[in-house]
């Protein structure tokens, strides 16, 4: 039998659980932004990609 979890707003959680949620959320966001910056930096190091990007403007 499947077990259903009740969905609660973050504001109704205990302080410890709320802190854990915020840490996970903002760590994930920071890593995603960092990965995006790294991928963009790598793309701009490749000459054909830079030339293609400049040709689009």
> Interior CA angle at 34 toward 32 and 38, to 5°?
115
Residue 54 phi, psi (nearest 5)? -70, -30
User: Rg of the Cα trace of the chain?
Assistant: 20
Q: What pTM, to 2 d.p., does this model score?
A: 0.69
Closest to 27 measured CA to CA, from 35, 17, 16: 35
Closest to 10 measured CA to CA, from 20, 38, 31, 44: 20
Q: For 1-54, what is each residue's pLDDT tens digit?
A: 567 678 889 889 899 999 999 999 999 999 999 999 999 999 999 999 999 989
Q: pLDDT exceeding 90 applies to what percent of the chain?
A: 72
Q: For 35-49, what is each residue's pLDDT tens digit?
A: 999 999 999 999 999
* Tokens linked to 17: 């659980």
């Amino acid at each position: 039998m499947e077990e259903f979890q009740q969905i609660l707003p973050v504001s109704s959680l205990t302080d410890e659980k709320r802190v854990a949620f915020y840490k996970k959320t903002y760590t994930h966001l920071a890593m995603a932004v960092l990965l995006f910056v790294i991928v963009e930096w790598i793309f701009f190091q490749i000459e054909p990609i830079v030339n293609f990007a400049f040709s689009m403007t």
